[in-house]
Structure 1
């Protein structure tokens, strides 16, 4: 593969370029059987095919997966004719935008016709206009590191915008001016933050300037597209980097205004912890506790757990600052924001519940909770208990090592008590000793509100005293029922 143009004033070393190219050759050899086979079919039909964009970038970084992106001069209907007899499966969900998807062996493949313009600058909807050359297609791509291609099957490297050099320098630039790029598709401003977080790249100063000046353009982008981009950023390896960029450029005010609002002013009389910096640290600490890969529910809860603080801040007479009930206010704000961003009902419910419960542990203190209080903690967390453990542990960002160690020991103690109780009584599926049918049989009543009240009473007894045994439970139910009759 030939080198990129070396006329840039900030040249990466020859060694950096050759390493990147060696990695790319190795990666491309791995996918060659499928890629070359497909390219020959396009060639036989009179069309060209090139590996493009993120696939080339990831090949150069040595991290090419099994998702392959191609570009071609063939129109979508011609692409379908070529891939249908060859692929194991074909899908047309993106065909209105010039993209045909298919699967071959272990590879998920997208083939997109050259584009010239991607967006009507006043509309939320992409407006597709096909181009006639790969160079025309590459200039309208979001960033130079995504504007490289490899023509197949000849393996000719195409890099008209010095993307290889920017890749070596770990910097994000746009092929044309950032203003033109972001006018074509304002979501690219969020993508800059996402790639900074995913790849740990710096964003070029002129790109940051354009993002800051054009933040209001995000208003024409649909909530679903913004949500999907935000998810990719939050699930990345370095979300702090991307989130900080969104806040610094003003984009966060349009997407997640609760985050910059955490930058509470401090003065010499009312000093308190920087809630914004604390939040980003909690997010990073929560990530460190993940055991089965990135967890969007946990990460969103960490990011939003304190968003109720600005609305509940009070300056007390003794000079302290308080945020009473910020977890309750924050849970309502979380529900409203995630709903507006079109998250699923289940995601909204789970994240809001974690925000609501994140302070509950601090009532545990030095371990004076009764067994019934521990049972309630488990019952209220339900299937979110493991995430609540992680969120609560992450929420300690104090530099006071003695205080941090004391909190950690206290939570260790709570987890041990939960484990012991679970062994004794299968705590995570707490139910009263009598079910609804037994209650109706014992009391001789039919379904109705009285059964629900009786069931709730027996559940409270179960939480307070643990398992009672059948005879004791029957006696307790009858005693309660007699008191109801007397009332």
Structure 2
């Protein structure tokens, strides 16, 4: 343990906005007779020059005492993590809102068959740091009751050296670390993408040898870690690590299964590599299309639905692979893939909203190719207005995401083909905008509502009202807005012919 060096003090400059809240909390805990450290990701990010408003601390104080002290610091305190020794708080200081987590020194681990950790409190900060996932997250600052110059740097496992060499390594042996919490193997994948670090060879080997231990982790925790990986700026490295070590075989087996298939062009990419490229391109488009007042949105939030759909859009190909006239085919892989995605995402306990949105996008991701093929001979040979309306109707509230997925799905090296597809989709989006402006197409409702239908036909609520509504919706899609009078006339004619059958 040493005082913070001048170099480290410079590196920790990103903590300056937070130093008043850190110092105040340090004094509060120290004067009550407890050790108090800034720890983990807060220290790592500060050394990387990253400023955030989340502060993680560890302390010798037990949870009850931590809660008592935090109540003296702020009115907003909650204890949902008490069973794991964590008390959280929110406080306004220096013009910022700070999210604070304070955890008692811990020494928890998993039994060989348990899905939940056994929590045991430790007595020393080194015990707490030893149980953390990676050395770059096992550094701490002893806050004490002084200012930044009085803080002491605690780095018993060489985290600063690994931060310098951009290496992920466990504080204890990987076998002990991953045995204590197997989810750390997935966390290695997430940090490799989030931080751009390389996993130490010994650590990587251990992940491959211990991959099957991930099966004791609950689906919810696996889901959350997978989501965090996908929401990084560049998930490819982490996904490759999951696949190459065998973790993906257990948590997302549809992903490595795609390595066995060539795409329909049988040229430069297998389906797995194609899917990662689509994911890369979807992330770039997702950011590029998020503008506020004509400028990129500085508060852009990654879109998990887009990213899941991009990654999984072709998972139906291995199951639909066929051969026709010497050419590999994947007929109906969109429909098969949508069903597979729905099953997998449900198993991972994703919300109904996410499951439905991702599976719908996968089912629709090939729809545009009919437009592109029709447009190859010029705009006049493309879809009718009715077909464009159906595309909008089927896309529904996922239309913008469908735009992103469909554009991202072009990974051909044939520049002429890529340009043709780009132009065709530009044209399709232009036509959607034109029709939406002229017809209020975003509403996409019939010209008569349910009450008007019942009054006109003299019927009460029931299946026939729904059938009449669908008839009018179909006419709306085919013809555009018809107005109440024409809609009423067509509905009565439909009703008459229906009852004559």
User: Cα–Cα, structure 1 residues 236 and 270, in superposed 2: closer, same or farther, change >3 Å?
Assistant: closer
2:314 corresponds to: 306
Paired position in structure 2 for 1:226: 222
- Structure 2: distance between partners of 1:75 and 1:252: 38
Alignment of structure 1 residues 289-438 onto 2, 5 Å: 289-290=285-286, 291=290, 292-316=300-324, 318-364=325-371, 365=373, 366=375, 367=379, 368-438=382-452
TM-score (norm 1): 0.94
Alignment pair present for 1:123 and 2:131: no
CA contact (8 A) 1:270 1:315 kept: no
Q: Equivalent of 2:19, from 8, 28, 32?
A: 32
CA distance in 1, matches of 2:394, 2:416: 30
Distance 1:323 1:266 in 2: 10
Which whole-Å deviations, capped at 9, do the CAs of 1:408-429 have from their partners, x for residues lacking one? 0000010011011001111111
CA contact (8 A) 1:121 1:185 kept: no
Which residue does the alignment assign to 2:159?
163
Deviation at 1:2, TM superposition (A): 5.1
Q: Distance in 1 between matches of 2:3 and 2:73?
A: 33
Could you tell me which residue of structure 2 aligns to residue 209 of structure 1?
205
Gapped regions of structure 2 (runs ≥ 5)? 145-149, 291-299
Contact 2:261 2:271 in 1 (8 A): no
Query: 1:3 Cα deviation (Å)?
Result: 8.4
Q: CA RMSD in A?
A: 1.8
Q: Quote the offset at 1:41 in angstroms.
A: 1.1
Question: Unaligned regions of 5+ residues in structure 1, if any?
Answer: 5-16
Q: Which has the larger displacement, 258-267 or 401-410?
A: 258-267
Q: Secondary structure at the match of 2:164?
A: helix
Q: Where in structure 2 are the equivalents of 1:112-191 lying within 5 Å?
A: 112-153=103-144, 154-191=150-187
Greater mean alpha carbon deviation, residues 284-293 or residues 116-125: 116-125
CA distance in 2, matches of 1:270, 1:435: 51
Using the alignment, how far apart are the partners of 1:272 and 1:309 within structure 2?
Answer: 17
Find the aligned partners of 1:294 and 1:301 in 2 and give their Cα distance: 13
Q: CA deviation at 1:119?
A: 2.7
Alpha-carbon deviation of 1:78? 1.5
Shift of 1:475: 1.6
Is residue 262–residue 271 contact of structure 2 (8 Å, CA) maintained in 1? no
Q: Residue in 1 aligned with 2:42?
A: 55
2:84 corresponds to which residue? 97
Flag the 1:220–1:34 CA change in 2: closer, same or farther, 3 A.
same
Q: Equivalents in 1 of 2:498, 2:128: separation in Å?
A: 77
- Give 3-state SS (helix, strand or coil) of 2:172's partner: coil
Moved more, 144-153 or 477-486: 477-486
Conservation of the 8 A alpha-carbon contact between 1:270 and 1:319: no
Give the secondary structure class of the aligned counterpart of 2:73.
Answer: coil
Give the deviation of 1:132 after TM superposition.
0.9
Partner in structure 2 of residue 12 of structure 1: none
How far apart in 1 are the matches of 2:152 and 2:330?
Answer: 61
Give the match for residue 23 of structure 1.
Answer: 11
Match of 1:253 in 2: 249
Q: Tell me the secondary structure at the aligned position of residue 259 of structure 1.
A: helix
SS in 1 for 2:359: helix
Q: How many residues align?
A: 472
Deviations 1:34-68 (CA, angstroms, capped at 9, x unpaired): 11111111111111101011110011011131111
Q: 1:454 to 1:233 in 2, by over 3 A?
A: same
State the distance in 1 between where 2:225 and 2:392 align: 34
* Match of residue 195 from structure 1: 191
Q: Distance in 2 between matches of 1:18 and 1:359?
A: 58
Structure 2: distance between partners of 1:381 and 1:265:
29
Question: What SS does the corresponding residue of 2:177 show, helix, strand or coil?
Answer: helix
User: Where does structure 1 differ by over 3 angstroms across 4 or more consecutive aligned residues?
Assistant: 1-4, 17-21, 269-273
1:59-98 matches, within 5 Å, as 59-98=46-85
Equivalent pair of 1:118/1:127 in contact (CA under 8 Å): yes
- State the 1:30 CA deviation: 2.2
In structure 1, how many angstroms separate the alpha carbons of the residues matched to 2:80 and 2:118?
16
